[in-house]
Amino acid sequence: MGQTMIEKNCSLKAFNSFSIDARAHLLFHFKQHSQLPELLTLIKQMQSEKKPILVLGGGSNTLFCEDFSGLVIKVELMGVDKSEDPENYLLTVAAGEDWPQLVEDTVQQGIYGLENLALIPGVVGAAPVQNIGAYGIELKDVCTRVDYIDLIDEELKSLSNEDCLFAYRDSIFKGELKDRVLITSVELKLPKQWQPHCRYGLLQSIHETEETVSAQQIFNSVCRIRSEKLPDPSVLGNAGSFFKNPIVSEHLGGQLLSHHADMPLYPQADGTAKLAAGWLIDQCGLKGKQIGGAAVHKDQALVLINTGNATSQDIIDLAWFVREQVLQKFAVLLEHEVRFIDAQGETTLQQVMKDV
């Protein structure tokens, strides 16, 4: 192939939406399957040297806390394969394809079902990992298969929707298969008999009736709502929702509601209650709160931003401050949705704070 796909001591600034200037010891651009033997050799070498391996998609949900001491595999596999049966469109989408572009393209081609998930930054391969979701739809509702390379036994494998163990911002790729999977493609099944979903929050107030609304209209509304509330990462570094919406016991949910009648609370099927982390942070008066170059976004408290020259430590300190304030005021512990990566691989906010 001539051109080398491996970079040494490479800046990751362009590869994470927080624009943190961390470095990777090695970075491999994985563009086509023919590179697989070369990649597997490199992986073996890393394993024998006990160096960590990180699979990176669009970097839109990642906080690099330190320089990464091992191999970063940047997944850049491209291509969309379309087929259909009498009832459905089937799309097999390579992991490096841009998710928001895919949504836009499908809507334009008259293939509907992804419109609620418009403008979610990131690549297709990352979508199943955290089961991306917005406005009443999650990836699990449209994904039928995930293809991946098992980095331990070096085999190509597939998982069905059920096997992926999708849950709220969660899947098997964050659990049992964490750190051993490189997702290569995702299959999506989109019924030709399209059903609109606009019962969620703001969408409902815009489209009161599901009878006449079109997929293009939902797409336009979602794009408008998101652009109004969420900062564009290419202008202000951020990683979308920084924390997950916490799920608390029915008892705590009820108790909080009795003190804060206007608190958003989404009852879950199992009796627990999902709260809005953005609301909790907002109630602590933290919109606009700044530590160093990191700030809580002024319009959506669930988003932490890099105001220009934030270090990862600024973001970590701010995240910790937010977590402590919410804990003190509401006795609710926020878990971060953003992946924290230190020199050795994935870590947590608690761990990073313990280490300093």
Q: Which of 19, 22, 10, 67 is nearest to 309 (CA)?
A: 19
Helices 215-229 and 99-108 cross at an angle (nearest 10°) of 150
Q: Active site includes 176? A: no
Beta strand 80-84 with 88-94: parallel, antiparallel or unpaired?
antiparallel
Give the one residue of 76, 115, 187, 337 binding ligand EPU; rule: CB under 6 A.
Answer: 337
Q: Please answer whether residues 77 and 193 qualify as being in contact, where contact means their C-beta atoms are separated by less than 8 angstroms.
A: no
Give the one residue of 300, 306, 312, 325 binding ligand EPU; rule: CB under 6 A.
Answer: 300
Give the one residue of 104, 105, 282, 317 binding ligand EPU; rule: CB under 6 A.
Answer: 282
Give the one residue of 59, 100, 122, 278 binding ligand EPU; rule: CB under 6 A.
Answer: 278
Give the one residue of 194, 279, 320, 321 binding ligand EPU; rule: CB under 6 A.
Answer: 279
Beta strand 80-84 with 133-134: parallel, antiparallel or unpaired?
unpaired
Q: Active site includes 241? A: yes
Task: Tell whether residue 62 is a contact of ligand EPU (CB under 6 A).
Answer: no
Q: Active site includes 145? A: no
Beta strand 6-11 with 23-30: parallel, antiparallel or unpaired?
antiparallel
Which residues lie below 8 Å from residue 144, measured CB to CB, with a gap of 6+? 90, 160, 161, 187, 188, 189
Task: Tell whether residue 122 is a contact of ligand EPU (CB under 6 A).
Answer: no
Q: Which stretch binds ligand EPU (CB under 6 A): 26-34, 155-163, 276-284, 321-329?
A: 276-284
Nearer CB in complex with ligand EPU: 102/134: 134
Neighbour-count burial for 302-336, b at 16+ CB within 10 Å, e otherwise: bbbbbeeebbbbbbbbbbbbbbebbeeebebebeb
Nearer CB in complex with ligand EPU: 145/207: 207
Task: Tell whether residue 194 is a contact of ligand EPU (CB under 6 A).
Answer: no
Task: Tell whether residue 244 is a contact of ligand EPU (CB under 6 A).
Answer: yes
Two tokens at 137? 């739809």
Please report which residue ranges of 127-276 form alpha helices under DSSP H: 201-206, 215-229, 250-259
**Size of residue set near ligand EPU by CB under 6 A:** 16
Q: Which of 17, 60, 241, 312 is catalytic?
A: 241
Task: Tell whether residue 295 is a contact of ligand EPU (CB under 6 A).
Answer: no
**Footprint on this chain of ligand EPU (rule: CB under 6 A):** 134-135, 201, 240-241, 244-245, 264, 276, 278-279, 282, 300-302, 337
Could you give the residue numbers annotated as active site?
Answer: 169, 241, 337
